Structure 1
Amino acid sequence: MKRCLIVSGGYAPHRAFEAGERVRAMLEEDGFEVTNSGTLEAYDREDLASYDLIVPNWTLGQMSADTSKRLWAAIWSGVGLGGFHGGMADGFRDNDRFRYMVGGAYVREPGGVRRYTVEIARPDDPIMTGISDFEYYSEQYYMHVDPSNEVLATTRFSGEDYPWIDGIVMPTVWKKPFGSGRVFFSALGHVPEEFDNPSMSTILRRGLNWATRRRV
């Protein structure tokens, strides 16, 4: 059976553990054995290499250099890394090794929660099959992004809050290889209720399954 470790917590308004339970339910339907841990010590306590997928779901927080090296080694060896919103893109701001693995970092959400369009950049990718551009109401993440990512979806900023970003196209969903492992990220999912959006939840579910370790 495939095994997944979710590590949930951090910034309280994200209600991370509740969101982690949403992820747990999705993955259990797909045949995973899932642990949703509410403590950062899980990264050191657990045998990370024994999992097939790790979902970092902890906004802010601190991760030591030694812990990030353990996580790096697990992903490099083939364990999948996948997640969403601030739990992955705004975790452990002081740890460059973690951010390098993720492939991007949260910077700001101009205008806060707002309505915007998620534009599908790769409709031919299996993660995006059958999903068209869709309207979304949430924080619109402005990020610093690794140019080596394979971008699957984007959003476009208006200049309402900052005129100089008018028309900027921002990667919102991406995937990439990392050693023998795979990394997937979606910026969507500010609060657990957003999992009720079928396009958001389908993209995340497929992306996490894609990132999962391929066992021979």
Structure 2
Amino acid sequence: MAQVLMVRGGWEGHQPVAATDRYAAVLTSAGHEVSTSDTLDVYLDAERLAATDLVVQCWSMGSATEEQVTGLAEAVRAGTGLAGWHGGIVDAFRDRPAYHLLTGGQFIHHHKEFVRYPVRVVAEHEVVAGLGTFEVHSEQYYVHADPGNEVLAVTDYVDDPDRPWLGNPTMPVTWVRRHGAGRVFVTTIGHRLADLEVPAVHTMITRGLAWATR
């Protein structure tokens, strides 16, 4: 049985409570013990983090102190897993480069409206095994990403009439990485609950949480 900590808050548009409740139920049904925190001060509790096997963060935008980011990063380096989706993990704490070095990427831009885009698997990895190519109709994130990430799935950025100079670069959608002894799982999909209900997305996130767990 793993100890899982859901840290949720920030911008309410990403439905942090409903989204984390969805995966809390999945993890609980798998036999894990899940707790939640609605404050980033939990990252200052070194003893609690050391006893945590997986942190699932769903905290969009907002700000974190240097001490909070340091507490989280130190826990991950010591073996605590970190996982999340969409803005809850890669559109958080924009003024904390140390946090971006932990997650391996940062949201930069998306189209004004939802777009329909294919996501294609590009690696042999247990998180994406058998998923092939699937389609999402939602926000498509343009991200700056760490070249050290192990990219599992990508998309070609759809033409944006407001920023035509962006073109159609291949953009990472899902990646994993190591941070010291800890594992990190990120996917940029997940703006709304309907995104999480796409079968391939749900499977990918469920597997990603399991992979990242200590």
Smaller-chain TM-score range?
over 0.9
Aligned position for 2:171: 170
The normalised TM-score by structure 2 is 0.94
The reply on whether 1:125 has 2:149 as its aligned counterpart is no
Q: Per-residue CA shift, 1:86-118, capped at 9, x if unaligned?
A: 000011111111111000000011243111111
Q: Report percent identity of matched pairs.
A: 38
What is the deviation of 1:58?
0.3
User: What TM-score does the superposition give when structure 1 sets the normalisation length?
Assistant: 0.94
User: Which ranges of structure 2 fall in alignment gaps of 5 or more residues?
Assistant: none
Q: What is the aligned partner in structure 1 of residue 81 from structure 2?
A: 80
C-alpha deviation, 1:155, in angstroms = 0.9
Q: Secondary structure at the match of 2:119?
A: strand
Distance in 1 of aligned mates of 2:33 and 2:10: 24
Distance 1:160 1:13 in 2: 22
Moved more, 50-59 or 38-47: 38-47
Residue identity opposite 2:166 in structure 1: I
Matches of 1:158 and 1:20 in 2, distance apart? 29
Give the conservation status (yes or no) of the 8 Å contact 2:44–2:67: no
Structure 1 alignment gaps of length 5 or more:
none
> How big is the shift at 1:140?
0.1
- Determine the structure 1 residue equivalent to 2:20: 20
Contact 2:153–2:172 under 8 Å retained in 1: yes
Deviation beyond 4 Å, 4+ runs, structure 1: none
Aligned mates of 1:167, 1:58 — CA distance in 2: 29
Task: Figure out how many residues of one structure are paired with residues of the other and give that number.
Answer: 212
Distance 2:105 2:113 in 1: 19
Contact 1:3 1:32 in 2 (8 A): yes
181-190 or 164-173: bigger deviation: 164-173
Q: Which residue of 2 aligns with 1:197?
A: 198
- The equivalent of 1:3 in structure 2 is 3
Distance 2:23 2:41 in 1: 20
Change (3 A) 1:158 1:203: same
Structure 2 equivalent of residue 106 of structure 1:
107
8 Å contact kept, 1:173–1:186: yes
Query: More deviation in 111-120 or 194-203?
Result: 111-120
CA contact (8 A) 1:158 1:165 kept: no
